[in-house]
Amino acid sequence: MKEKALCNKEKNISIIYSISNFLKRVRPGMDNKNFEYEEEMKNLKQAHKEWTQAEIYFENVKDDDLIDHAIYNLEAAKKKYFYLLSKVRERVLEENA
């Protein structure tokens, strides 16, 4: 099961790259002083940090009893990040429409 998650690492890197490009396109057109998404972006960055930490934990866990825990944490962190990202994306699209 650990091998499957490691194979997904390349997929995750591709997803993060795509998200990063999306955020770069969104932010330059906005005035930083009036950036209304400050709280959402803060939460998104925190969720990304949690996801990264969960990946590091998963890669370094040695105890077989903790592998399931590491996988659960990794999946939960990833879902949280994508949820927050979709909320930011929806808000940006609504306001730019």
Please tell me the predicted confidence (pLDDT) of residue 33.
41
* Beta-carbon count within 10 A of 39 CB: 9
Please tell me the predicted confidence (pLDDT) of residue 94.
80
End-to-end CA, the chain: 43
Please tell me the predicted confidence (pLDDT) of residue 90.
86
Please tell me the predicted confidence (pLDDT) of residue 75.
96
Q: Please give the C-alpha separations between residue 86 and each of 24, 69, 79, 90, in angstroms, as whole numbers.
A: 15, 26, 11, 6
Per-residue pLDDT tens listing for the chain (97 residues) = 555 555 566 666 666 666 666 666 655 555 544 456 788 888 999 999 999 999 999 999 999 889 999 999 999 999 999 999 998 888 878 877 6
Distance from C-alpha of 15 to C-alpha of 65, rounded to nearest angstrom: 29
Q: Does the predicted model carry a pTM greater than 0.75?
A: no
| Helix residue spans in 27-63 (DSSP H) | 38-60
